Amino acid sequence: MQMPQNSFKQALQSGSQQYGLWLGLCNALSAELCGHCGYDWLLIDAEHAPNDLNSIHTQLLAIENTPSHAVIRLVDDNPALIKQVLDLGAQSLLIPMVETADQASALVSAVHYPPAGTRGVGTALARAARWNQVDNYMQQADAEVCLLIQIESVTALENLDDILAVEGIDGVFIGPADLAGSMGHLGNSAHPEVVSAVESAIARIRASGKAAGTLVADPTLARQYENKGVQFLALAVDTLLLAKGAKLTLERYLSDNEDKN
């Protein structure tokens, strides 16, 4: 059996623009639906959405049947959880709240097998290895893992150059919401000081040779960040799209009724 290739990692390495969608509904059917909507990548959020290993597994299966690529955001940098999600078959991980080069280095170690890292070996039980049916899985797995780290605090920005010097980081995602809070602008990711900080970080990330990413629902600001060099860009969140569409449908219907009366 052949090793699954990480098309998302290949796209980042080639400089191809990658558009994504955030998934927080924790549902395989909605994940599969979104996977057929044309997005390059779908982010399964296990930090703020109530995802567990079982729901991540079912969504991975669903997305594999679509043209999109699944990226998993974990709740933290726990190497034991990283091991479990990699064994489930995830190839691209986003780790939140990375603030130091030492933390970034530990993450690189956690996603690689020895001697390059410390990932535990359990391929007979791992879906990723198709239960030892993928030929030479352990010899190929490291090359297919895409490690994305999330910087989202003033401390992370202060340490960004040291973080970027860590080898084995494929991309750096800027978390605008938490960064805004850290900068004293909670709830206002579009504040000029936050936007300036994000743009400065994008430039530093790109100068290091790594891919830069972020999540921006506002199309104007998203285009602005893309023009500054963001390569993997999430444009919306499934929960917000559903809420907005549901409200708009009801409001339009009630408005039509009022006009008729």
Residues that are catalytic: 48
Contact 82, 111 (CB under 8 A): yes
| Bridge partner list, 44 | 23, 72
As a whole number of angstroms, the distance between CA 236 and CA 20 comes to: 8
Contact 115, 154 (CB under 8 A): no
Cβ neighbours for 229, distance < 8 A, ≥ 6 positions apart: 202, 203, 205, 206, 212
As a whole number of angstroms, the distance between CA 128 and CA 1 comes to: 12
153: left (phi over 0), alpha (psi -120 to 50) or beta: beta
- Where helices occur in the chain by DSSP H, the ranges are 7-14, 28-35, 53-64, 79-88, 101-110, 137-144, 154-158, 160-164, 176-182, 192-207, 219-228, 238-260
Please count the other Cβ atoms lying within 10 Å of the Cβ belonging to residue 221.
Answer: 16
